[in-house]
């Protein structure tokens, strides 16, 4: 269908235009359905054996192995040359909301360790302001014992927090790859000049592990459009 085609187009374009094996050896592989095509494209490279791929969670690890790529860990490779990952929403300054797939902690860690961070997304995500299309809230990873305390603090901050349910797959909340809960907190539309302060306030709450607000981290975004074109931002 058109969305799948758009995801494949932007992912292939991002790899073809940015991955340079003469200077990139350690590459980050994100999580979600768009980055599936990034791993597929990298897996088609004739000299892919020169690469070591760093996962951002269980699904990402499976993608690396399924495409015959060398799997590394962020413990072995804390300096990553280039990272490709998806996004739930992207604003006009390439800030983004991530965490729709509950992998935001390792995604942010890998992005933080990367010299280059490239986003790949279909055009539904490219709305220009965070909270416009992605209305389920900012994903926040929290230690399970702190979720009620943090929910209260988020409400005081003006948010509407919900612990991400595991249903119908699981009774009780989603448990992340790190054994934590996800709170999705709706703050409505968030102007780009408010993002850093909001992120810092949330991260300062005891029991918060990380937020899905990726502020000034990405330098380029490849947007796949339903008309078959790719828009490059940044």
What residues are annotated to the active site?
Answer: 107
Residue 170 beta carbon to ligand DER: minimum distance, rounded to whole angstroms: 18
Kindly tell me which residue out of 107, 141, 177, 184 binds ligand DER, with binding defined by CB under 6 A.
107
DSSP secondary structure, the chain, as one string: -HHHHHHHHHHHHHHHHH--TTT--EEEE--SSSHHHHHHHHHT-TTGGG-EEEESSHHHHHHHHHTTPPB--TTT--SEEEEEE--SEEETTS-EE--TTS-HHHHHHHHHHEEEEEEEEEGGGEEESBTSS-TT-EEEEE-GGGHHHHHHHHHHTT-EEEEPB-TTTSSSB---TTS-EEEEEE--SB-GGGHHHHHHHHHTSTTEEEESEE-S--SEEEEE-TTS-EEEE-
Specify the stretch interacting with ligand DER by CB under 6 A; choose among 79-87, 151-159, 160-168, 174-182: 79-87
Specify the stretch interacting with ligand DER by CB under 6 A; choose among 14-22, 32-40, 61-69, 190-198: 32-40
210 part of the interface to ligand DER, by CB under 6 A? no
98 part of the interface to ligand DER, by CB under 6 A? yes
31 part of the interface to ligand DER, by CB under 6 A? yes
142 part of the interface to ligand DER, by CB under 6 A? no
Residue 12 beta carbon to ligand DER: minimum distance, rounded to whole angstroms: 14
Which spans of this chain sit near ligand DER (rule: CB under 6 A)? 30-34, 85-88, 98-101, 103-104, 107
């Amino acid at each position: 269908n058109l969305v799948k085609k758009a995801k494949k187009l932007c992912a292939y374009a991002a790899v073809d235009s940015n991955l340079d094996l003469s200077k990139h050896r350690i590459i980050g592989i994100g999580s979600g359905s768009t980055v599936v095509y990034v791993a597929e494209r990298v897996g088609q490279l004739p000299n892919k054996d020169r690469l070591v791929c760093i996962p951002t969670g269980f699904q990402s690890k499976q993608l690396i192995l399924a495409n015959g790529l060398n799997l590394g860990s962020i413990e072995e490779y804390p300096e990553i040359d280039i990272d490709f990952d998806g996004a739930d929403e992207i604003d006009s300054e390439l800030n983004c909301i991530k965490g729709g797939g509950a992998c935001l902690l390792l995604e942010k860690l890998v992005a933080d360790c990367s010299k280059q961070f490239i986003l790949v997304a279909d055009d539904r995500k490219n709305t220009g302001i965070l909270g416009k299309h992605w209305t389920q809230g900012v994903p926040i990873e929290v230690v399970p014992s702190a979720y009620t305390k943090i929910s209260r603090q988020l409400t005081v901050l003006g948010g509407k927090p919900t612990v991400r349910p595991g249903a119908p797959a699981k009774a009780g909340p989603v448990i992340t790859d790190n054994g934590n809960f996800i709170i999705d907190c709706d703050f409505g539309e968030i102007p780009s000049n408010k993002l850093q302060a909001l992120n810092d306030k949330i991260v300062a709450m005891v029991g918060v592990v990380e937020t899905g607000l990726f502020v000034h981290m990405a330098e380029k975004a490849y947007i796949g459009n339903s008309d078959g074109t790719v828009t490059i931002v940044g």
